[in-house]
Structure formats: C-alpha cells, structure tokens
Amino acid sequence: MTTLCCRVATTQRQLDDALRVRWAVFGAELGLFGESVPPAPREVNCFDTLETTVHLVVYADDEPVATCRLLLPNPEVALATGRRWGIDLERKLDLSDVGGPGLVFAESTRFCVLEAWRHSEALVWLQVGLHEESRRRGVTHWIASANMETDSAEDAQLIFQVAAHQGLLSQRWRARALEPPRPPDISSAPHFTPAQRARARQGQLEGLRMPRVLSFFAHKMGARFIAEPLYDAGFHRFSLPLVAALDEIPASTLNRFEALRRGSSLRARA
C-alpha cells in the first residue's frame, strides 16, 4: 500500500524534488513556459534559496508528487525593494493596507500536485504540512494569489464578480495592483463559454462556477479575496489575490487534517 507523507525540504535532494514537481506541472503539463525544455527541467526563481523560504514536498513512498512553498518575511528583500515584508507578491501588489499589530503574514505559493495524484489525499497532505509548519513558525495569515486558470481578461473579471456575488471578498483588507495587467489580445485559455458570458453581461451570475483552486481556498481554507485579478506574464494566466487567517480555517477542514494525521499514526504503529 502506498504511504503519503508531507516533509519540509531540508536537503538538496528534497529541494530538487520540489523544483522538478513544479516543472512537471507548470512546464510539461500546462506549457506555461513555452515549448523549449531546459537541460535540467526545474522551475526555479530567486526566492527558492532564501533562508526564509520553506519548501514542502508530499511523497508517495519515495516519489515526490506535490509541493508548495512558504515565503516568510525577508528583511534583506524588503530593504532592497523598499517594500514592507520582502515577499514575492509585493512585486505586483501594494500591500501597505494589509496586516496589523501581532499579525504575521507569509506567502503561500507554487502550490501544485502531479496530475496522476490530483484526486488523491496528496492535496490534503500538502495542506496539513503547510498548516503545521506555519503554526510552528508563528504565522497567523497566509497571503497568496491563486491561479484563475484563464488568460482571458473578460473571464477573469467575471470570476471576480462571481466571487463578490458569493460574498467571498474580504471585508477587512484591500490591495491594489502596482501596474495594470497586460493579458494577450486573444485568449488561448477561456474559462466560460460564449453563452455563459452573455448571461453574465445581463447580471445573471447564478450557476457560473469558480475555478477549482479558488473554490478550494475560499470554501475549504476560509480565504477571502483582497484585490482584482492580476495577469502573470511568466505563467500566462490571471491569478486572484487572497488572505486566509489560520484561526478562521473551517472546523470541517481542521477535523479532516486531524483524521489524516491520526490515520497515518495508526498505520505507522500497525
């Protein structure tokens, strides 16, 4: 029987596992970096090796199948950029109105699961590991910008309207883009059909679905959206900024985390 577990990457091999999973999803599967394949297929950026960056990897036995990273505030980056926290999202958003005394924000990013494991418990194990490590490091809130699965400006705005219609916008914090998004003129990844867009233009938002990732964060993790859609030219997709308070994660999600830990502990003793 295959055993799943989530580990904090503490070795070069584990970091490499995380970067290879990221390439497999973002590069090979989704084709977000063009058609060329680098000699060593890894998805890497400058935040990956900072001492304030935590990489989490889910293993199925010894095979890495999912990963995410947690960017804690970095004084060096904050000083160099003139920003508040020194996290990656500050390249795109003005976060000066987000935060408060006693609150510790960390950016959850590069969240991905290999296609063959996407409907398994690997996703939950990744969240369990992220939650445990965040608590251990004193994080009170996650901040992120979640994939909207589209490069269509119209569809991204409609998704934002659906989120507002469902009461999923933050009533506490708002952020704004530092530069207006510049999506392609012609979309290659629409989210809605022409008929759905036509209904939405008439204000008929009922029945329009949110992208799976946004729905997961909003309903399973208690996240609320804090800004309008951002276009990422590197990933060729819009994303939607959000904040999730660890103290406001729904009880049903925390109960599932505990059941997973308990089940794993029982299997280990068997």
- Express each pLDDT in 38-94 by its tens digit: 889 999 999 999 999 999 999 999 999 999 999 999 999 999 999 999 999 999 999
Mean of the pLDDT values across residues 199-204?
A: 90
Domain ranges for the chain, please list them: 4-269
Going by DSSP bridges, is the β-strand pair 63-71/53-60 parallel, antiparallel, or unpaired?
Answer: antiparallel
Cβ neighbours of 115 (radius 10 Å): 13
| Rounded distance between C-alpha atoms, residue 51 and residue 49, angstroms | 6
pLDDT in tens, 228-269: 999 998 888 999 999 999 999 999 999 999 998 887 765 554
Which CATH code fits 4-269?
A: 3.40.630.30
Q: How confident is the model at residue 270 (pLDDT cuts 50, 70, 90)?
A: very low
Tell me if residue 240 falls in helix, strand or coil: strand
Alpha helices, DSSP H, located in 146-250? 153-165, 194-201, 212-220
Contact by Cβ (8 Å): 115, 81:
no
Dist. CA 210–CA 47, nearest whole Å: 29
Burial of 151-161, coded b for 16+ CB within 10 Å and e otherwise, reads: bbbbbbebbbe
Lowest mean pLDDT among 27-36, 114-123, 247-256: 27-36
